[in-house]
């Protein structure tokens, strides 16, 4: 069971460099601070290569920071954690396994008995609208369906936090709009904390309670813009004057190259 405050993330002073053979390490995150309230959706935007994907991996406990800390509800994250679901930029499905078998994989690793697994897979596939594709192989699916399958695989452990790395960036604009609307509906039902990386200012505003803007590498937070939209959103909300001014505030802090991407 979720409560409104569960899923609070606190990133404090996270510093990280990647070692490079023969040259100095590459500094990627530079004392990064970020707090996300339980049940909040925060979008992350920043120039290519500034460390967004790295930050999600650090939050998910997949890469240790050189210094600083990540806490989930006050507990230090020190390794992969079932309370945090991560959807990578590419869906990363196992091509020889059906959609259902891919979605069930984390539970298989966790030793969940087969009958319970089947039930939870079915419910996760329902949530993302993939019930009819359960027995297909990833290669038989469209890019959008593959992303949904990856989302279902993240949802199946009922995480308190979902980290989405440019989840729909490979899709055409119309499909992407539709998926973003669906993502908000899903969030309305689950109320998990969500951190989404995006390249698009309108998408960042449409999805986010807040838009956090990162600097050029090494990434740190340069702006934290609260989105002035209340209640269930529609794509038409993006035309509101208040949204235009939020977009202007974000653009002012964003390195110009980001919009070209």
Ligand X SMILES: Nc1ncnc2c1ncn2[C@@H]1O[C@H](COP(=O)(O)OP(=O)(O)O)[C@@H](O)[C@H]1O
52 in contact with ligand X (CB under 6 A): yes
Indicate if the alpha-carbon torsion angle 5, 46, 62, 151 is positive or negative.
positive
Shortest distance in whole angstroms from residue 254 CB to Mg ion: 15
**Nearest distance in Å: CB 253, ligand X:** 15
Q: Which is nearer to ligand X, 39 or 46 (CB)?
A: 46
What is the residue whose two structure tokens read 């505030």? 249
Return the H-helix or E-strand segment holding 49: none
| 53 is a site residue for ligand X (CB under 6 A) | yes
The yes or no reply on residue 54 touching Mg ion (CB under 5 A) is no
Residue with tokens 């992303």: 147
Q: Which is nearer to Mg ion, 125 or 254 (CB)?
A: 254
The Cα–Cα gap between 97 and 147 comes to 15
**Choice between 14 and 152, CB closer to ligand X:** 14
Considering the rule CB under 6 A, would residue 54 count as an interface residue with ligand X?
yes
**Residue 199, burial from CB neighbour count under 10 angstroms (0-12, 13-18, 19+):** middle
Of the chain, the end-to-end C-alpha distance in Å amounts to 39
With contact defined as beta carbons under 8 Å apart, do 38 and 194 qualify?
no
Identify the residue among 5, 13, 18, 69 touching ligand X (CB under 6 A). 18
48 counts as binding ligand X under rule CB under 6 A? yes
Closer Cβ to ligand X, 216 or 251, answer by number:
216
Which range, of 6-14, 44-52, 92-100, 246-254, touches ligand X by CB under 6 A?
A: 44-52
Candidates 48-56, 92-100, 128-136, 176-184 — which segment interacts with ligand X by CB under 6 A?
Answer: 48-56
Torsion angle in degrees (nearest 10) through CA of 60, 46, 165, 41:
80
Binding status of residue 49 toward ligand X by CB under 6 A: yes
Is residue 14 within 8 Å of 160, Cβ to Cβ?
no
Q: Is 53 in the site for Mg ion (CB under 5 A)?
A: yes
What is the rounded distance in angstroms from the CA atom of residue 49 to the CA atom of residue 15?
A: 15
- By the rule CB under 6 A, 45 interacts with ligand X: no
CB 238 within 8 A of CB 206: yes
Q: Which does 62 bind (CB under 5 to 8 A by kind): ligand X, Mg ion, none?
A: none
Region near Mg ion per CB under 5 A, out of 2-10, 33-41, 49-57, 143-151: 49-57
Residue 218 makes contact with ligand X by CB under 6 A: no
Q: Exposure of 209 by Cβ count < 10 A (0-12 exposed, 13-18 middle, 19+ buried)? A: middle
Contact 161, 10 (CB under 8 A): no
Is 198 a binding residue for Mg ion by CB under 5 A? The answer is no
Tokens standing for residue 242:
């208040």
Using CB under 6 A as the binding rule, whether residue 43 contacts ligand X is answered as: no
**Which residues of this protein are in contact with ligand X, per CB under 6 A?**
18, 26, 28, 46, 48-54, 217
**Which residues of this protein are in contact with Mg ion, per CB under 5 A?**
52-53
């Amino acid at each position: 069971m979720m409560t409104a405050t569960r899923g609070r993330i606190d990133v404090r002073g996270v510093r990280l460099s990647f070692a490079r053979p023969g040259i100095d390490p590459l500094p990627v995150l530079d004392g990064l601070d970020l707090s996300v309230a339980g049940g909040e959706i925060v979008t992350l935007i920043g120039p290519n290569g500034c460390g967004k994907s790295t930050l999600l991996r650090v939050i998910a406990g997949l890469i240790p920071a050189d210094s600083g800390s990540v806490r989930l509800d006050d507990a230090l994250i020190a390794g992969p954690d079932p309370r945090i679901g991560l959807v990578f930029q590419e869906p990363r499905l196992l091509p020889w396994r059906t959609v259902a078998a891919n979605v069930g994989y984390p539970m298989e690793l966790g030793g969940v008995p087969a009958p319970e697994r089947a039930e939870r897979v079915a419910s996760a596939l329902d949530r993302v609208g993939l019930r009819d594709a359960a027995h297909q192989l990833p290669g038989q699916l469209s890019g959008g369906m593959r992303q949904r399958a990856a989302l279902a695989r993240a949802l199946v452990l009922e995480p308190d936090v979902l980290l989405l790395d440019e989840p729909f960036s490979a899709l055409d604009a119309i499909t992407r709009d539709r998926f973003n609307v669906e993502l908000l509906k899903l969030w309305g039902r689950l109320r998990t904390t969500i951190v989404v990386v995006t390249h698009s200012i309108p998408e960042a505003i449409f999805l986010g309670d807040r838009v956090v803007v990162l600097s050029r590498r090494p990434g740190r937070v340069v702006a934290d813009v609260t989105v002035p939209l209340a209640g269930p959103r529609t794509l038409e909300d993006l035309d509101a004057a208040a949204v235009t001014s939020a977009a202007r505030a974000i653009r002012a802090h964003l390195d110009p190259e980001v919009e070209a991407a």
